[in-house]
């Protein structure tokens, strides 16, 4: 049943991201299984990420007007063509503020960090120029989210790093995110190829 015009969303929660590879998704599944096996008593303290929704966020845009999507997609294409494809990989599990009192848990980037930081800085500068984006105050730290504490901070188990879980970054994606009871649901709204010239 089609939505009436009054029901069509006028805004969308969006972000720009690097997709993860199938191997990296498998590594997330392995890490979750290892956590449940080695420290099952701590798993209940966290809301684990869905490996099928995994990504590396470059820029979080927040709630934006749907009418601005074409402009944002064009900005992404202009920036992406200035950066060549590169290989990046996942590394150790980290907690914020620290491993003994973690509220946020992520897998750090082991390889390709400099390329990701350069790409993110270029994207942020280009988006800021459109007046459609307000940069976050915290410093960008490339990572793939893994878990979030359900309430109070909790300790992390000692898990092995995600060795060998790599991907070749060839595109950046503009993603829409819809919050749902079962977790955020993501939809790719636009893609831009790295190093591609029309």
pLDDT digit string, tens, across residues 2-16: 444 444 578 999 999
Look at residue 2 and tell me if it is in a domain.
no
115 versus 147: the higher-pLDDT residue is 115
Q: Considering the domain boundaries, does residue 132 fall inside one?
A: yes
E strand residue ranges, 20-129: 46-48, 55-65, 86-98, 101-111
CATH number for the domain spanning 107: value is 3.90.1140.10
List the single range of 51-55, 86-90, 128-132, 135-139 with lowest mean pLDDT.
135-139
Helix, strand, or coil here: 127?
helix
- Model confidence pLDDT, tens digit, residues 175-186: 998 877 666 788
Q: Distance between CA atoms of 140 and 113, rounded to whole angstroms?
A: 11
User: Is 14 contained in some domain?
Assistant: yes
pLDDT, average across residues 75-101: 92
Supply the pTM of this predicted model: 0.88
In a domain, 46, yes or no: yes
Residue 121 in any domain: the answer is yes
pLDDT at 1: 40
Please tell me the total count of domains within the chain: 1
What pLDDT does residue 155 have? 82
In a domain, residue 146? The reply is yes
Q: Is 154 exposed, middle or buried (0-12, 13-18, 19+ CB in 10 A)?
A: buried
In a domain, residue 17? The reply is yes
Q: What is the pLDDT of residues 34-83, one digit of tens each?
A: 888 888 888 888 888 889 899 999 999 999 999 999 999 999 999 999 99
Residue 81 lies in a domain: yes
- Quote the CA–CA distance of 44 and 47 in Å, as a whole number: 8
Confidence (pLDDT) at 20: 95
Whole-number pLDDT of residue 169: 97
**What average pLDDT does the structure give for the chain?**
87
Domain range for 115 is 10-193
Question: What contacts 139, CB < 8 A, 6 or more positions away?
Answer: none
Q: What is the pLDDT of residue 198?
A: 58
| pLDDT score of 164 | 67
């Amino acid at each position: 049943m089609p939505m009436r015009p009054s029901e069509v969303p006028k805004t969308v929660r969006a972000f720009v991201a690097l997709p993860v590879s199938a191997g990296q998704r498998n590594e997330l599944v392995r890490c979750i299984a290892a956590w449940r096996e080695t420290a099952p008593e701590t798993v209940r303290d966290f809301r684990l990420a869905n490996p099928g929704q995994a990504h590396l966020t470059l820029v979080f845009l927040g709630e934006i007007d749907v009418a601005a999507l074409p402009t944002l997609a064009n900005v992404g294409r202009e920036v992406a063509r200035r950066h060549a494809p590169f290989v990046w990989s996942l590394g150790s599990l980290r907690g914020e503020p620290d491993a003994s009192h973690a509220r946020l848990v992520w897998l750090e980037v082991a390889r390709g960090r400099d390329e990701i930081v350069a790409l993110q800085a270029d994207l942020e500068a280009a988006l800021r120029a459109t007046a459609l984006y307000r940069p976050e105050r915290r410093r960008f730290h490339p990572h793939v989210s893994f878990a979030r504490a359900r309430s109070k901070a909790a300790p992390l188990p000692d898990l092995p790093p995600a060795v060998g879980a790599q991907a070749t970054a060839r595109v950046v994606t503009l993603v829409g995110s819809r919050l749902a009871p079962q977790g955020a649901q993501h939809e790719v709204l636009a893609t831009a190829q790295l190093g591609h010239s029309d």
